[in-house]
Chains A and B, each alone.
Chain A
Amino acid sequence: MPPKPRPSEAVAKPPTVLASTVVIAETASLTGTFPIKIGANTVIHPRAKLASAHGPITIGEHCIICERTQICPPDAEGLIIGDGVVVEVNSVVEGSVVGAGSVVEVGLNCKLGPLTKVLEGEVVEDNTVIFGSGQRRIDASGTADARRRLLERHIESLRVLIPSNPSKFIN
């Protein structure tokens, strides 16, 4: 008996632009009607949800989008995630612009700790670290380059571990 079609497959696929070196797991979900663009060397873990029902999604190069994350742009202006961004497990991203090297408008090289929240319309400056119950500080250690190198190694190892199936998402 053939397996029953899953309801998620009945939903129309969004127009996607995937770079050739993207690692995208088969069980990631890309839904919606607006286009989704994913840059080179980005890793999308299984069960990550990218929903472009309300606006386009653009993800830069060298990003890691972990499982159980939800990326949903709030309006038609869309959501842009810069280069080298790691979106960790269980995160919800509904902001508009996320700067390069960081994890609402978030500046460059920011780090948001676990379970922290950024309110609507808030602008987080470059190099900010948000931690604990909403405390903030500016990271002046200048380790952005080192972190970027670590991230690239991380992506190299994930390339081995996560079976990629971009053809499922191209239409």
Chain B
Amino acid sequence: MPPKQTKGEYIETDTGNKVSRKSVILGSQNIILGGKTIIQADCTIRGDLRRTVAPSQQSGNVAIAVGRYCFLSRSSVLRPPGRTHQKPVPTYVSPRPPVVQGADQPLLCRTFSYCPMKIGDHVFVGEGSVVEAALIGSYVHIAKDCVIGKFAIIKDCVRIEEGTVIAPNTVIPSFSLVSGRPGVVTDELPETAQEGLECRLPNYLIYNIIYMIAGVQTLTIGVVKNIYRMI
């Protein structure tokens, strides 16, 4: 009988994602994690809410794409936004979906469909936050208990303060500090904001660790690579 595997709280994937066993991940085949992403307990990711209209060639059936070095805290929720689409009735669909014809509108079909959600690198999502954004750029810090409305677009380097509610369809520009209900841009972040928003250890700390370990053992390229993989 093989030795019993020790069960930690986290499962680590090949690309270094750490996913808690207690997280709720639905439709995992529609979720892409970039690597080095940490998903804590009780975090809910709704990959099952995928497109129901014909998927485009590029994105396929992906519902949620998360970049590298993201951190999803306890009890946070990621769910793709959905809306009714208006598009010309495809002739090959059978049976035909409900058709709405206005006075000045061409023949349209209206169907509800979820849209894929894209999250960049170094995105932190705080405890209990609900994210239904369409797009979140890189270096975005979402504090705890926030609600990001449907189809919101958040650009790079944004800090969202605790308890903020961002209205649906809002666009938040880069380098902004957002707070309040509804969330508005209250301040600008300095140009150096990116360093403070990184979810990875800063480079100088990595070098410190490498030098620390180098004191105990001879430093080979393999050792340095291992350290980088750990971090």
Residues of chain A touching chain B, judged by Cβ–Cβ distance below 8 Å, are 27, 46-47, 67-68, 89-90, 113-115, 131-133, 150, 153-154, 156-157, 160-162
Task: Place the interface of chain B in its size category.
Answer: 20 to 34
The reply to whether the CB of B79 lies closer than 8 angstroms to some CB of chain A is yes
Q: Chain A nearest CB: distance from B87 CB in Å?
A: 13
Binary interface encoding of chain B residues 113-143 relative to chain A, with 1 for a CB under 8 A from any of its CBs, else 0: 1100000000000001010000000000000
Please tell me if the beta carbons of A67 and B77 are within 8 angstroms of each other in the complex: yes
Complex contacts, B182 vs chain A, CB 8 Å: 131-132
The reply to whether the CB of B165 lies closer than 8 angstroms to some CB of chain A is yes
Please tell me if the beta carbons of A157 and B82 are within 8 angstroms of each other in the complex: yes
- Docked Cα-Cα span, A113 to B98, in Å, equals 30
Please tell me if the beta carbons of B52 and A157 are within 8 angstroms of each other in the complex: yes
Complex contacts, A161 vs chain B, CB 8 Å: 48-50, 52, 114
User: 23 A-B pairs, CB-CB below 8 angstroms?
Assistant: A27-B24, A67-B24, A67-B44, A67-B46, A68-B75, A68-B77, A89-B77, A90-B128, A113-B181, A114-B147, A114-B149, A115-B145, A115-B147, A115-B181, A131-B181, A133-B181, A150-B112, A153-B98, A153-B110, A153-B111, A154-B82, A157-B114, A161-B49
Please tell me if the beta carbons of A115 and B165 are within 8 angstroms of each other in the complex: yes
CB-nearest residue of chain B to A159: B52
Q: How would you classify the secondary structure of chain A's contact residues: helix, strand, loop or mixed?
A: loop
Q: Chain B nearest CB: distance from A120 CB in Å?
A: 22
Complex contacts, A131 vs chain B, CB 8 Å: 181-182
- Docked Cα-Cα span, A90 to B76, in Å, equals 10
- Docked Cα-Cα span, A132 to B163, in Å, equals 11
Known pairs A67-B77, A150-B112, A157-B113. 15 more at Cβ < 8 A?
A27-B24, A46-B24, A47-B44, A90-B77, A115-B145, A115-B147, A115-B181, A131-B181, A132-B165, A132-B181, A153-B110, A154-B84, A156-B112, A157-B52, A160-B52
- Docked Cα-Cα span, A149 to B51, in Å, equals 19
Please tell me if the beta carbons of B26 and A46 are within 8 angstroms of each other in the complex: yes
Given contacts A89-B130, A133-B181, A150-B84, contact A157 B50 (CB under 8 A): no
Given contacts A46-B24, A161-B48, contact A90 B82 (CB under 8 A): no
- Docked Cα-Cα span, A67 to B130, in Å, equals 11
Q: Chain B nearest CB: distance from A63 CB in Å?
A: 15
Complex contacts, B113 vs chain A, CB 8 Å: 157
Please tell me if the beta carbons of B130 and A114 are within 8 angstroms of each other in the complex: yes
- Docked Cα-Cα span, A132 to B114, in Å, equals 26
Please tell me if the beta carbons of B112 and A154 are within 8 angstroms of each other in the complex: yes
Q: Chain B nearest CB: distance from A159 CB in Å?
A: 10
Q: Chain A nearest CB: distance from B64 CB in Å?
A: 14
Within 8 A of A (CB), among B151-172: 163, 165
